[in-house]
Amino acid sequence: MLRQVVAAAAAVALLAGCNSGDDKSSADSNPTDGASQTPSTPSVPAPTPYDPPKAFAAVTATALPEEKGHTTFVPPVAMVGTTAVANSHSGAFGQTMNGTAATWRTPSTDTTDGTVVTQDVSAPVAVQVDGKPAVAVAYYQRVKGGGTSKPIVRVLFRWLDPTDGKLLSEATVDATPLLGDQEVNSGLPGGFTEQAVDRATGQFAIGVAPTSLIGAKSGVITVIGDPATKKGVAIPFMKPAGISQGVLVGAQGEDNTRRSLALVDAATGKVTKSGLLRGLEGLNPTGGGGRYVYLYGQKYTKGIGSFGTGDYVGSIYAVDPATGTVVQTKSAVKDTQYLLNYGCRADGQKTVVCTAGEGADEAEIVAFDDTTGKKLWGYTEKSPGRVVPRVTAVFHGLVYAMVEKKPVLVDALTGQDVPIPTPSPSTLPSDAVSPTDGTTPTDAGTPTDGSTPTDGSTSSVEVSPTDGPTPAQPDFTPMSPQSVSEFGGVYVREDTMSTTDSAGILQVLKAVG
């Protein structure tokens, strides 16, 4: 059982800036060339409807319990309005910024007899369902057979009310026909790969990889869930890159060296365009799409590498889901042979920020105008006078990042450092929240009626310190949030003080500047 810690007074998590400067390169709207690019001057996005937070105060913290069989798992989190949401194998957990309000926990399954086992979970995402705020989550589950029913593997999508965790919509997709019986009977779990969400409609696409590609029917597949129809589809040999206005953009192919770009009707799973961006050595989704969808690919070019043996030229491709039009931007990393991918984040307005991923011989950060798909700015660690930060979140024109263990802010439109306002005393929390002041929720119990997650009977559960997350010490060490809303931010850090098993401390921040 996790310890109970009296939540202390709120801590101000102020962000500091880094050196300024800029180093632009060019973009090319011809995805088939890859050998030449011409400078472009993309339009500067208009001001955002409201300013993003620049300073935070820690208002509450929660110790998340370590789950049996998943000792290294750290729950992914999202800030949805005023609620911080963490998703884990046991279910979704919500903590409001107001510590006196009841937290909630919605189980990933209502069964208690072990017939449904959750093997992997998605990151929670803030979306709209029927024009109302919601949080979307997904679970990869094995369902044991019984009687005349065979065992299956499935993806369960849920859309929850962020204020109380109650179910708004649900869709279940059986992945067994595409993954095959070997996946069902395997003693080792498969899991999720990339995920993509249409924040305006709540449509959710997620990649599923089998335990082993050997003997699997379809390799990586994409499964889509729709909150409006409460139905879904599965698409073979497809990695999801982005979904918008009913169109899925994905990397289609049986293996990495034979993938090409495809457009898919998200409602039916029918491929409407295929074979785009052929001839690449690899094509992988980067995540973080807005209006455009972003992927990274490499092209082998003879005679330009060491000893004339050839080299790999890496590029980020921005794809318009409506037309299939592609805008290409070459990587500024000199050697991309082992650069497998980029990680991109959309700010929810008009910019997308990407950083070089695994295998890069030098760090790079690059930003795109999401209204055109063209590059705004970027630089590498070898650029004079610049340090490439570790990006943790992007929101409404601001990049939240870390440099030398200290938080920094960067303007997503220009790449320049952003000065941090000092919050006035009136904006800081006036008192701490104590778990012993009578505001701790009581345990409402877990449903034990054996109803399945597809029967619409799922309900949220109030959290007791004895059966789940418990109050913890707010973090006085400034860290950059992993997710941001107009009201605040959230991150999970390692629990270094606990004497019992913990998956991490959920730190909830209030925007104060």
395-420 pLDDT, tens digit each: 999 999 999 989 999 999 999 999 88
Q: Round to whole Å and give the CA distance between 291 and 13.
A: 32
Task: With cut-offs at 50, 70 and 90, classify the pLDDT of residue 316.
Answer: very high
Token pair for residue 289? 């799409």
Whether 45 shows a pLDDT value over 50: the answer reads: no
Placement of tokens 């500067």 in the chain: 44
Residue 323: burial class (beta carbons within 10 Å; 0-12, 13-18, 19+): exposed
Token pair for residue 248? 């899925």
Digit-coded pLDDT (tens) for 151-201 = 999 999 999 999 999 999 999 999 999 988 777 776 666 899 999 999 999
pLDDT of residue 42: 37
pLDDT of residue 433: 40
Token pair for residue 170? 């649900």
Task: With cut-offs at 50, 70 and 90, classify the pLDDT of residue 290.
Answer: confident
Token pair for residue 400? 């939240």
Token pair for residue 213? 């590609």
Q: Round to whole Å and give the CA distance between 332 and 363.
A: 10
Whether 344 shows a pLDDT value over 90: the answer reads: yes
Residue 353's alpha-carbon distances to 16, 89, 156, 178, 400, in angstroms, are 19, 30, 30, 34, 11
Return the higher-pLDDT residue of 30 and 53: 53
Token pair for residue 148? 């005349």
Q: In this structure, are residues 304 and 286 in contact, taking their beta carbons and an 8 Å threshold? A: no
Whether 307 shows a pLDDT value over 90: the answer reads: no
Token pair for residue 257? 């060296």
Residue 433's alpha-carbon distances to 10, 472, 479, in angstroms, are 9, 10, 21
CB neighbours of residue 214 within 10 Å: 7
Placement of tokens 């098993």 in the chain: 501
pLDDT of residue 185: 74
pLDDT of residue 240: 97
Phi and psi torsions of 177, nearest 5°: -60, -30
Closest CA to 194 of 256, 123, 265, 281: 123
pLDDT average, residue stretch 298-304:
73
pLDDT of residue 282: 85
Q: Round to whole Å and give the CA distance between 459 and 419.
A: 44
| pTM beyond 0.85, yes or no | no
List the alpha helices (DSSP H) in 123-230: 176-179, 181-185
Return the higher-pLDDT residue of 329 and 258: 329
pLDDT average, residue stretch 266-278:
95
pLDDT average, residue stretch 376-386:
95
Q: What angle do CA 482, 488, 491 make, to 5 degrees?
A: 25
Task: With cut-offs at 50, 70 and 90, classify the pLDDT of residue 71.
Answer: confident
Q: In this structure, are residues 386 and 33 in contact, taking their beta carbons and an 8 Å threshold? A: no
Would you say how long the chain is, in residues?
513
Residue 92: burial class (beta carbons within 10 Å; 0-12, 13-18, 19+): buried
Whether 101 shows a pLDDT value over 50: the answer reads: yes
Whether 394 shows a pLDDT value over 90: the answer reads: yes
Whether 437 shows a pLDDT value over 70: the answer reads: no
What residues have CB less than 8 Å from 323, skipping those under 6 apart?
none
CB neighbours of residue 322 within 10 Å: 11
Least confident span in 45-59, 263-277, 313-327, 394-408: 45-59
Q: Round to whole Å and give the CA distance between 466 and 443.
A: 8
CB neighbours of residue 194 within 10 Å: 21
